[in-house]
Chain A
């Protein structure tokens, strides 16, 4: 028998009204069957609302099956006498790092589980030390969890589970709220636990690149297992995955797109190395003429260029002139969050802002609409200094709209419609004007009309986010700044939001500043990238030129899109390809330029 077995598992959430009458039933799981063997690394994929979290909670006996059974290590989760054994054997890591750390000190949090299990004090300490060492957080044992990064917090949470000596660990989107570095940390940790300690890992995620190392993948949809197989098997069916709100890693996507144009690359390409290997094999090495001139030289030509081609009218621009911002000025804790930033944001631009956590992006963004006033320097909008006393900052806030990260957390009104009216009313619009603006905004974010008068708290995550964006749009901004608008959404939801933003830019001519951790998203949508590091804008240019400087990006904890690396590796293998490719579409064109007819017979 496997370590985890689910048989015809059904679970329903029952919604009740205030008197306790059943209002509606949502079937979250409808007949899940699966078996997981000891020591496997399992990935569970699925769009938002596919039932994957509900399933995860069954393994840890937080939820009990409505119908069917779940066995953990041979024990039925429904039997009360098994409860504590199951919770000890199947540890659980949740999405939000803050909401699962109980202790005020790292080591005390790790000790929480063993304390509950009634382990003697001496052994608790042994376990705590051993677990903290296993996740590389031993030096931080005396720290307060509030001072750690997201990735470190998740590692502490993993240590907390490890100290209970589990046989398997279920991770429910442990990386959804982390930046790319934190994500890598956590995934590396999960793989190490699987390799070294032979702990069964069940990783639930939205990120395709985290799945490629799994032994097996389950794809969930509408409360059922829709697909299962090895990562290679799963990722070869691109169309089906798209239907299920998912996508595939870039190398697999590139192979898929090439095959659509007549190439015949084999299925099962997951990584960059796979792709290069297969393309070399496919073209029979005909393009192999020794490594082409190093990309470095080409890169150096762009090293100090800032594209001056774009004419930005200063009278229409948002300009930051030598802006610095200092927290806690004059104390020992003085932090220079922004350091002498000068930048011009022209009308109609689509700008991507990248930088690792703590690089000053949030502070920068808050300067754009006057939420934070610069300690030094000036911010001008359309030629007027916004920090002047007589300047109408309220008006500025309607002109420069700012959508914060997880904006759905600011919704507060009884209905969606009322909530969207909040902004326009604040800036002095009449009820009628506000309602009109709200209608337009809700239409622009493509929220189905039937939701206009429901409570915003009843919507799904993606819908809530649209409402929140509409709340800012209703103020009719000329510039829209979005901080990580796709955080926590599944691939389909992510594309929908980004397409929507693109539409706002293209059709309504709104200037966009998009803050993002995803290099691929930035490459696909923006015209200009600003790279921030240590409170300064280090690079400013179009995506092609910025991503050429991938070494520098890496030294700042960033990277180029996967496809860029892929093209460069191909170049090093003798393919005369443009190393500045940043999107799949361009890569397809570029490879087809070199290998025109796609087929072997072509050349």
Chain B
């Protein structure tokens, strides 16, 4: 089940999108997401769709790979659609027992679903084409103005990158501990909720102990290699914008212009 989540995973390919500076991609994704929520006309949605599809094409990430990532949100999507369909007041077009589906509800449901799908695909496009490290570097750089307000930007980025490194290790460890306790007759599958929660103790305690031990070891290893926070630190892979990124920002600007135009021309198609 965990394997199905493509959100947050990196797909290795050699494409223009992959080569973009992470900051460009983060900014681009934000622009895209905001545009989805401001402009609600049919025309604007079409512009967003064209933009998204061309980005996917450029990224060389197989479309099927992205769809696989959608599986995990199908449930949320379904709920949203159903709620919107039934709970929006308006002209009823279809009636089941006491609930009626309204014309407006139908429209809202469809567009909300589309927006949600776009949102997920758009942001997973960013994570699929950017290595976790690049992503943290990008975030660190974009958030660095916050340092003025004493936000520990470097530390947060370092924590994120360490977390990413240790997720697979701790997952493996969890599996090992579970098996070891099962070998001692532990049962995680039967019993009521309370019993099951209690059955987790023999997993969680060793897992926490191990995580602390690892954290301690890692801190020592980092200090031994002269780590002393972000100050005076140089970068092995400094971020730098090049021509590609300038073009990308141009494309974003064009997209903004187009979608504003589409938003005005298309009018407020939907209520709310």
Q: A-side interface residues toward B, CB under 8 Å?
A: 57, 60, 62, 84, 87-88, 91-92, 94, 96, 98-105, 107-108, 111-121, 124-125, 128, 145-146, 160-161, 164, 366, 369, 371, 394, 397-398, 401-402, 404, 407, 409-412, 422-423, 426-427, 457, 471-472, 475
Q: What B residues does A164 contact at CB under 8 A?
A: 225-226
Tell me the total A-B contact number using a CB cutoff of 8 A. 148
Q: Are B224 and A91 in contact (CB under 8 A)?
A: yes
Q: Are B206 and A100 closer than 8 Å at their CB atoms?
A: no
Which of these binds chain A: B74-82, B164-172, B263-271? Answer: B164-172
Q: How many angstroms between the C-alpha atoms of A104 and B235 in the bound complex?
A: 15
> Are B133 and A104 in touch, CB under 8 angstroms?
yes
The answer, among A128, A401, A457, for a CB contact under 8 Å with B236, is A128
Residues of B within 8 A of A401 (CB): 183
Partner of A366, one of B179, B223, B232, B238: B179
Q: What residues of A have a CB within 8 angstroms of the CB of B205 in the complex?
A: 412
One of A62, A101, A104, A366 near B132 (C-beta < 8 A): A104
Pairwise interchain contact A409-B184, C-beta atoms closer than 8 A:
no
**In contact, B164 and A104 (Cβ under 8 angstroms):** yes
Give the complex CA separation of A427 and B185 in angstroms: 6
B237 at the interface (CB under 8 A from A): yes
* B225 in complex: contacting residue of A99, A113, A412, CB < 8 Å: A113
> Chain B residues with Cβ under 8 A from A113's Cβ?
225-226
CA distance A519 to B225 in the complex (A): 36
Asked if B161 and A116 sit within 8 Å, CB to CB, the answer is no
Interface string of B187-218 (1 = CB under 8 A from A): 10000000000000110011001100110011
Contact sample, A vs B, 7 pairs, CB 8 Å cutoff: A99-B213, A102-B222, A116-B233, A160-B225, A394-B187, A409-B209, A410-B184
Tell me the complex Cα distance, A92–B210, Å.
22
Evaluate contact between A87 and B223: CB separation under 8 angstroms: yes
Please measure, in the bound complex, the distance between the C-alpha atom of A457 and the C-alpha atom of B205, giving whole angstroms.
Answer: 11
- The minimal Cβ–Cβ distance linking B114 to chain A, given in whole angstroms, is 31
A99–B202 CB distance below 8 A: no
**A116 touching B133, Cβ below 8 Å:** no
Cα distance, A88 to B228, chains bound together (Å): 13
Q: CB within 8 A of A87: which of B132, B185, B201, B225?
A: B225
* B220 CB–A CB distance under 8 Å: yes
Q: Verify B202–A422 contact, CB threshold 8 A.
A: yes
- C-alpha spacing A89/B181, complex, angstroms: 44
Enumerate chain B residues within 8 angstroms of A394, measured Cβ to Cβ.
185, 187
| Contact (Cβ within 8 A) A105 B133 | yes
Complex Cα distance A77/B132, Å? Answer: 37
Rounded to whole angstroms, the CA-CA distance of A91 and B187 in the bound complex is 46
B24–chain A nearest beta-carbon distance, Å: 20
B234 at the interface (CB under 8 A from A): yes
- Complex Cα distance A360/B234, Å? 44
Known: A160-B225, A410-B206. A472 touches B218 (CB 8 A): no
Do the beta carbons of A409 and B214 come within 8 Å of each other?
no
* Closest chain A residue to B216, Cβ basis: A99
User: Which of the residues B214, B217, B227, B234 comes within 8 Å of A124, measured between beta carbons?
Assistant: B234
A91 to B232 alpha-carbon distance, docked (Å)? 20
Which among A100, A117, A120, A369 is the interface contact of B218 at CB below 8 angstroms? A100
Which A residues lie within 8 Å of B210 (CB)? 409
| Chain A residues within 8 Å of B168, by CB | 146
Q: Select one of A98, A100, A422 contacting B169, CB under 8 A.
A: A98
Determine if B177 and A99 form an interchain contact, defined as CB atoms under 8 angstroms apart.
no
- Of B131, B184, B223, B224, most buried by chain A (CB within 10 Å of CB) is B184
Q: A98-B214, A121-B236 are in contact. Are A410 and B202 (CB under 8 A)?
A: yes
Say yes or no: A84 contacts B226, CB within 8 Å. Answer: yes
A124 touching B221 in the complex, CB below 8 Å, given contacts A116-B227, A426-B187, A475-B185: no
Tell me which residues across on chain B come within 8 A of A410, comparing CB atoms: 177, 180-181, 184, 202, 206
- The smallest beta-carbon distance between A483 and chain B, in angstroms, is 10
Q: Which residue of B lies closest to A405 (CB)?
A: B176
B14 close to chain A: CB less than 8 A: no
Question: With the chains together, A410 CA to B234 CA distance in Å?
Answer: 41
A103 surroundings in chain B (CB, below 8 A): 133, 165
Q: B186 near A: Cβ within 8 Å? A: yes
> Cβ of B182 < 8 Å from any Cβ of A?
yes
Chain B residues in 8 Å Cβ range of A120 = 234
Q: Is the CB of B180 within 8 A of A108?
A: no
Is the beta-carbon distance between B161 and A100 smaller than 8 angstroms? no
Q: Which residues of B contact A426 (CB under 8 A)?
A: 184-187
Instruction: Give every chain B residue within 8 A of A409 (Cβ-Cβ).
Output: 177, 180, 206, 209-210
| B236 & A114 in contact (Cβ 8 Å cutoff) | yes
B162: Cβ under 8 A from any A Cβ: yes
The minimal Cβ–Cβ distance linking A95 to chain B, given in whole angstroms, is 8
> B residues within 8 A CB of A118?
232-234
Which residues from B are CB-within-8-Å of A91? 224-225
Residues of B within 8 Å of A88, CB to CB, are: 226
Q: A94-B217, A409-B177, A412-B205 are in contact. Are A112 and B133 (CB under 8 A)?
A: no
A118 to B227, CA, bound (A): 10
Which residue of chain A lies nearest to B165 when distances are taken between CB atoms in the complex? Answer: A104
Is B218 in contact with A102, judged by CB distance below 8 angstroms? yes
**Residues of chain B lying within 8 A (CB to CB) of residue A161:** 225
Contacts beyond the supplied A87-B224, A99-B214: 5 A-B pairs with Cβ under 8 Å: A57-B220, A105-B133, A112-B222, A118-B232, A161-B225
| Cβ contacts under 8 Å, A404 to chain B | 176, 179-180, 183
Question: Is A472 within 8 A of B184, CB to CB?
Answer: yes
The 8 A-B pairs with the shortest beta carbon distances in the complex, nearest first, are: A426-B185, A111-B236, A99-B217, A412-B205, A100-B221, A423-B184, A402-B183, A116-B226
Query: Given A62-B223, A102-B221: A124 and B131 within 8 A (CB)?
Result: no
Q: For the complex formed, measure the closest distance between the CB of A13 and the CB atoms of chain B, giving whole angstroms.
A: 14
Whether A423 contacts B185 by the Cβ 8 Å rule is: yes
Q: How far is the CA of A401 from the CA of B183 in the complex (A)?
A: 7
Q: Is the CB of A398 within 8 A of B169?
A: no
**Which residues of chain B are within 8 angstroms of A475 by Cβ–Cβ distance?**
184-185
Listed residue (B133, B185, B237) with the most chain A CB atoms within 10 angstroms of its CB: B185
With a cutoff of 8 Å between Cβ atoms, the chain A residues found around residue B213 in the complex are 99
Q: Which residues on the B side are within 8 Å of A125 (C-beta)? A: 236
Contact partners of B179 in chain A: CB under 8 A: 366, 371, 404
Whether the pair B206, A94 counts as a contact (CB closer than 8 A) is no
Contact at A96–B234, with CB atoms within 8 Å? Answer: no
Chain B residues with CB under 8 Å of A121's CB are 234-238
Report A-chain residues with C-beta under 8 Å of the C-beta of B233: 115-116, 118
Q: Are A112 and B227 in contact (CB under 8 A)?
A: yes
A108 adjacent to B236 (CB under 8 Å): yes
